[in-house]
Chain A
Amino acid sequence: AQSVTQPDIHITVSEGASLELRCNYSYGATPYLFWYVQSPGQGLQLLLKYFSGDTLVQGIKGFEAEFKRSQSSFNLRKPSVHWSDAAEYFCAVGDSWGKLQFGAGTQVVVTP
């Protein structure tokens, strides 16, 4: 069975600083990997996804993620955060049936 670990429950970052959110997965086959963002009071919005090919994936809102098979990781990055990036971020791994397994989430707080 697949599983996802997001080691950081909470991250505080200054506006303009870089951000990296960690995600480790466990899955027997080639993983389908996703990052979603949830702004306060909102549903989840897809930031980016990885199925195959180039291991560096570009997403919306200036985010990118890098798939590293050897480390079973899919970390999310943004070079310069904006106050509007304050939200909860979820990493997820999908199986061949289309089901997703989510991590526990990382809450990002952006300070002025």
Chain B
Amino acid sequence: DVKVTQSSRYLVKRTGEKVFLECVQDMDHENMFWYRQDPGLGLRLIYFSYDVKMKEKGDIPEGYSVSREKKERFSLILESASTNQTSMYLCASSSTGGFYHEQYFGPGTRLTVT
């Protein structure tokens, strides 16, 4: 089974702090994604990566950056956390072979910025 893990289930940070959210997948997938999930808005793509050291902006990249130094790990960085970044963050991965659009999701990190 594909496993996508996220470093924390719940996180509370203060406004202005730098926040790191970590995601690790164990299936050697090429693609990795970061989404935020808000009630009534579904999932919105923040950033994605097709390969190590590669990154592409999604629909809502403002206020975020990412890092992918190793194939299995994709980090989301909030350079200076703000209250409007309080949300559920979901990481996903997928392969480029076969049904490559099928994304496998981690359990999510619920981030609260106070």
Say how far A108's CB is from chain B's closest CB, in angstroms: 15
Give complex CA distance A105, B39 in Å.
9
B40 with A104: CB separation less than 8 A: yes
Give complex CA distance A102, B101 in Å.
13
Say how far A11's CB is from chain B's closest CB, in angstroms: 15
Residue tally, chain B, CB below 8 Å to A: 27
B90 with A43: CB separation less than 8 A: yes
Interface 9-residue window, one of A58-66, A70-78, A79-87, A93-101: A93-101
Q: Which residues of A contact B94 (CB under 8 A)?
A: 98
Cβ of B43 < 8 Å from any Cβ of A? yes
Partner of A98 from B4, B40, B96, B105 at Cβ < 8 Å: B96
Cβ of B79 < 8 Å from any Cβ of A? no
Q: Is the interface of A mostly helix, strand, loop or mixed?
A: strand
A44 with B90: CB separation less than 8 A: yes
Give complex CA distance A102, B35 in Å.
10
Partner of A49 from B35, B43, B58, B102 at Cβ < 8 Å: B102
Q: Which residues of B contact A94 (CB under 8 A)?
A: 101
Binding site for A on B (CB under 8 A): 4, 31, 33, 35, 40-45, 48, 50, 58, 90, 92, 94, 96, 99-108
Binding site for B on A (CB under 8 A): 4, 6, 9, 32, 34, 36, 41-46, 49, 51, 90, 94, 98-105
